[in-house]
Structure 1
């Protein structure tokens, strides 16, 4: 499979399905407190293009988890559907929704300073602190209209 390629995923009960184009086969792990509280562990997600299509939107609940981001889940079964920035077009989809593709590559861990000591990943990844992540985001979005 070559990226970008459209992929589909769905929630546990099938009330919501997503169509999205991952930017790459790279999976990021987020260890922030909110992601770990949201799912009981780290979030493993792929970044997708802005054209995420949600079918069954009447079954989607969106929660504003911070001043800059929101998370969506199925109101029927609770499946986590997306994390997205309110401005800037970034959408992360939990990689488990895309079950038809198996060649994902774990490449980076975000908020590495927040990772608890009771788990670790064997893959060599890029480690990014929260401070570094915000600095990268600001550097990449300076001069844009989304300030």
Structure 2
């Protein structure tokens, strides 16, 4: 991995560490039902494509959450580590476990039609419904 957009992070207990290269400074939010159940609220994540190195893989459990994706978490402390597309092995990493640079900005929200009324972000973002996402990015 090379480049100036390298970030590092770890789970809560430190058993799993991650290194990634960010292809952009964009942060996305997912309001889908699965993400809300997984973390108790929306998932704030950065797309790391396939540029991820993981140490402590023996402490990772993977949940097969759909036909197209899986979710990884630390089997010791339960920290959410990644959402990964099965076909492309593309990673979305929860923003809170990485030491993100201050240039990172929330740019888009997906499944905006599933966002409950009890919270709202002040950031102006591109808002994408579930249907728009499936139409624009089939198979994701």
TM-score by structure 2 length? Answer: 0.92
Q: How many residues align?
A: 137
> Could you tell me how far apart the structure 1 residues matched to 2:89 and 2:15 are?
25
Relative to 1, partners in 2 of residues 1:75 and 1:112: Cα closer, same or farther, differing over 3 Å? same
8 A Cα contact 1:109 1:125, kept in partner: yes
- 2:6 pairs with 1:6: yes
What value does the CA root-mean-square deviation take over the aligned residues?
1.5
> Could you tell me how far apart the structure 2 residues matched to 1:23 and 1:4 are?
10
- 2:116 pairs with 1:116: yes
Give the corresponding residue for 1:144: none
8 A Cα contact 1:8 1:98, kept in partner: yes
- 2:134 pairs with 1:134: yes
Which runs of 5 or more structure 1 residues have no equivalent in the other structure? 142-147
Give the corresponding residue for 2:45: 45
Residue pairs, 1:1-147, within 5 angstroms: 5-138=5-138
8 A Cα contact 1:16 1:74, kept in partner: yes
Q: CA offsets per residue over residues 14-40 of structure 1, 9 Å max, x none?
A: 000011112211110000000000000
Q: Where in structure 1 do 4 or more consecutive aligned residues deviate above 6 Å?
A: none
> Could you tell me how far apart the structure 1 residues matched to 2:37 and 2:27 are?
20
> Could you tell me how far apart the structure 1 residues matched to 2:45 and 2:95 are?
5
> Could you tell me how far apart the structure 1 residues matched to 2:9 and 2:57 are?
14
